[in-house]
Structure 1
């Protein structure tokens, strides 16, 4: 090597450092690729993505060829750097100066800098690099096979199958929530909310969003026909439950489209049998049915309303397709009656007047609170469970970091409360 010109040795050393930088950046770039974007590009037949995906299907072989190439290049660079140092400074410099200088140069130009660039721009590095790495894998395959055979035998001792891609590409629902939350401007805020609501459907049941039986508006066949027709003609709903005496004795559901066939005639010609004849058979669902399951049931059964029953078969309320859709897209219907008071009234300074029958889930969603929903479903139920009964007016309590003051009660329930979220020390 003493006969080789120094200029050629320096050029060779520079070339080897560039090759080392290539292998280092390729390793980081390939391993930093977003697997979901890579799948998207593969579906679009992107050439670089196809090559990269093929290499990543066996990460043991990919890492093997990169490290074999990188080590060969680094060894050759060390040999050439030693020859240059010996000719310029003598043999002593190869033991004192060379390790420090070469390590510094390799770290900056062949490791840290190229890997940093590749970490920030993985596609720009990995896709072009795959064009070189793929034939290199074929060229070095015997060596790669030998190294991988020994390495994989050791890896299996740790319970890892190297023949299967080491990347778990399945997202947990909570991880998917994070992906949606972090999407930023890629997904509009309204669409983000809808996607998150879809993911939350599995966490709630029909009991959480049903209209309770005491609020159900329906037709009682024990009433006279004139009263029933008046209810039908003034109804703000398109579907009305029909029952006899008690809602547990459900006859069916009357759609006003069918009722139009007889409600415009003479009241004296209409009978209870006419109303019963146009009712559709009732559809019952258990109160523990998850919302996403119920949505599929509606689709399968071609239904838009169901009666919610408990474990004893008693009707607890009704749930409609609109109720389910509002859990995803938010409220899109209005109260045509116009006489129902707002359930949550902002008093300012963080205080709210809340109707006792308001759903805890609605309060949490509207005020961004985190009241417990495991047991009670309404504010009244939560406070009655805590007080172990209906308390007297003017009583108050602190539950977690929320303060409630009883404003109005009846003999059966808490009608209205005044509530505020207390600021914790770690929120100041």
Structure 2
């Protein structure tokens, strides 16, 4: 090496720096690739993506060829830099100063800079690098396999503990991807998240409570029954005798049009037009019930508890609203049940579901217990309040605002 000129030695260092920067950048770019987008591009026929995907099937060998190549380059650069330093500073100070200067130089130009660029544009570098890394891997396969064998032997205990992990996304991870790393319109994101949430919700979470079921008591007089049919805001009503537990069937109001006049009306005709009631357990997951509605060709179900007593009513529309949001034609829904105040707090109807409050306000009130705000506040108070009482639930301050008939009608809440 002594016969080479100083200019040639410096040129060799520059070339080795470029090669080292290539290896460092390729490593970062390959590891930073979005695996799902990579597979999509590979399936679409992108040649660079196909090669990169093939290399990433064995990341140990990919890293092996990159690190072996990079270390060889760095060792060569150290020899050349040592020669340059000895010529400039002598045999005593040259090696020490040369090592320090080379370390800083390589750190900046062969590590930090290329890796920063690669992290910002991984696809551009990774796809082009795949054309070089693939033949390099074939050429150096024996050495890479030997190095991998030793490293895998040493890493075996750690690999064994993580062997069961896969690249599949959990529901929570998929939600994060949808919310942060996608160009899908927000409304479509919300629909997809709604579908994913069906697995974690049950029929009990979306049913109309027993006390709020609108129906027809067949024992009422004709005028009352006709008024209930004509004023109904729903397309299907349960028909029962005296109480909902003695249900006769479900009446579709479209069928009721043929006997809505007092002259043609008869209770027997009304009963004949009803469908057999369809019962479902409270614990049914929403995604399961959605398929059951389709299989049974039903749109309305009466929800029963473990003792067979009717606790509420659920409809296909209720489940679909979990996905697409409110689309009911009920004019009372436009009045709103959550009202923002000037101080940043919210006045909330006590009958509103906790899940709906969380969805509307972005809160995270507990949903594993009571379904409504009324029930949630009572659970934390552990006694019925005599007047306005405040309670802290997580990071939210909730205050009872109006109480009638032993029910908390409205509450006032604010995030702390």
TM above 0.5, yes or no, is yes
The aligned length equals 414
Tell me the residue number matched to 1:253. Answer: 250
Determine which of 298, 316, 335 is the counterpart of 2:311: 316
Summarize the Cα distance change of 1:339–1:14 in structure 2 as closer, same or farther, 3 Å threshold.
closer
Question: In the TM superposition, what are the counterparts of 1:216-227 in structure 2 within 5 Å?
Answer: 216-225=213-222, 227=224
Larger displacement relative to structure 2 (68-77 or 398-407): 398-407
Tell me the residue number matched to 1:288. Answer: 283
Tell me the residue number matched to 1:120. Answer: 120
Is the aligned partner of 1:231 residue 2:224? Answer: no
Helix, strand or coil at the partner of 1:313: coil
Determine which of 343, 348, 358 is the counterpart of 1:364: 358
Q: Residues of 1 paired with 2:22 and 2:72: CA distance?
A: 13
Tell me the residue number matched to 1:426. Answer: none
Tell me the residue number matched to 2:374. Answer: 380
Larger displacement relative to structure 2 (224-233 or 98-107): 224-233
> What is the aligned-residue RMSD (CA, Å)?
2.9
- Please, what TM-score do these two structures have when normalized by structure 2? 0.89
Question: In the TM superposition, what are the counterparts of 1:325-340 in structure 2 within 5 Å?
Answer: 325-336=320-331, 338=332
Cα offset for 1:258? 3.0
Helix, strand or coil at the partner of 2:158: coil
- Cα deviations across residues 165-203 of structure 1 (Å, max 9, x unaligned)? x9842222222222223247x233333333333333333
Is the aligned partner of 1:420 residue 2:416? Answer: no
Is the aligned partner of 1:134 residue 2:134? Answer: yes
Summarize the Cα distance change of 1:350–1:109 in structure 2 as closer, same or farther, 3 Å threshold.
closer
Tell me the residue number matched to 1:79. Answer: 79
Tell me the residue number matched to 1:170. Answer: 168
Is the aligned partner of 1:182 residue 2:175? Answer: no
Determine which of 389, 397, 401 is the counterpart of 2:390: 397
Cα offset for 1:56? 0.7
- Cα deviations across residues 102-153 of structure 1 (Å, max 9, x unaligned)? 2222222212211111111111111111100000010011111211222222
- 8 Å CA contact 2:349–2:411 kept in 1: the answer is no
Summarize the Cα distance change of 1:156–1:340 in structure 2 as closer, same or farther, 3 Å threshold.
closer
Cα offset for 1:269? 4.7
Q: Residues of 1 paired with 2:63 and 2:381: CA distance?
A: 64
In structure 2, stretches of 5+ residues that fail to align are none
- Please, what TM-score do these two structures have when normalized by structure 1? 0.86
Q: Residues of 1 paired with 2:316 and 2:115: CA distance?
A: 53
Larger displacement relative to structure 2 (351-360 or 99-108): 351-360
Summarize the Cα distance change of 1:30–1:210 in structure 2 as closer, same or farther, 3 Å threshold.
same
Cα offset for 1:308? 0.7
Larger displacement relative to structure 2 (122-131 or 106-115): 106-115
Summarize the Cα distance change of 1:23–1:232 in structure 2 as closer, same or farther, 3 Å threshold.
same
Q: Residues of 2 paired with 1:103 and 1:387: CA distance?
A: 65
Cα offset for 1:361? 2.7
Summarize the Cα distance change of 1:80–1:208 in structure 2 as closer, same or farther, 3 Å threshold.
same
Q: Residues of 2 paired with 1:384 and 1:113: CA distance?
A: 59
Q: Residues of 2 paired with 1:76 and 1:347: CA distance?
A: 70
Q: Residues of 2 paired with 1:190 and 1:93: CA distance?
A: 67
Summarize the Cα distance change of 1:130–1:183 in structure 2 as closer, same or farther, 3 Å threshold.
closer
Q: Residues of 2 paired with 1:13 and 1:340: CA distance?
A: 73
Cα offset for 1:213? 1.6
Q: Residues of 1 paired with 2:311 and 2:370: CA distance?
A: 14
Cα offset for 1:380? 2.8
- 8 Å CA contact 1:233–1:263 kept in 2: the answer is no
Question: In the TM superposition, what are the counterparts of 1:40-59 in structure 2 within 5 Å?
Answer: 40-59=40-59
- 8 Å CA contact 1:229–1:263 kept in 2: the answer is no
Q: Residues of 2 paired with 1:421 and 1:273: CA distance?
A: 53
Tell me the residue number matched to 2:259. Answer: 263
Summarize the Cα distance change of 1:22–1:160 in structure 2 as closer, same or farther, 3 Å threshold.
farther
Helix, strand or coil at the partner of 1:196: helix
Is the aligned partner of 1:108 residue 2:108? Answer: yes
- Cα deviations across residues 350-379 of structure 1 (Å, max 9, x unaligned)? 455443333233333334444433322223
Helix, strand or coil at the partner of 1:2: coil
Q: Residues of 2 paired with 1:247 and 1:108: CA distance?
A: 77
Tell me the residue number matched to 2:197. Answer: 200
Q: Residues of 2 paired with 1:324 and 1:182: CA distance?
A: 26
- Cα deviations across residues 281-332 of structure 1 (Å, max 9, x unaligned)? 2221111222222223223322221111111111111111111122222222
- 8 Å CA contact 2:82–2:95 kept in 1: the answer is no
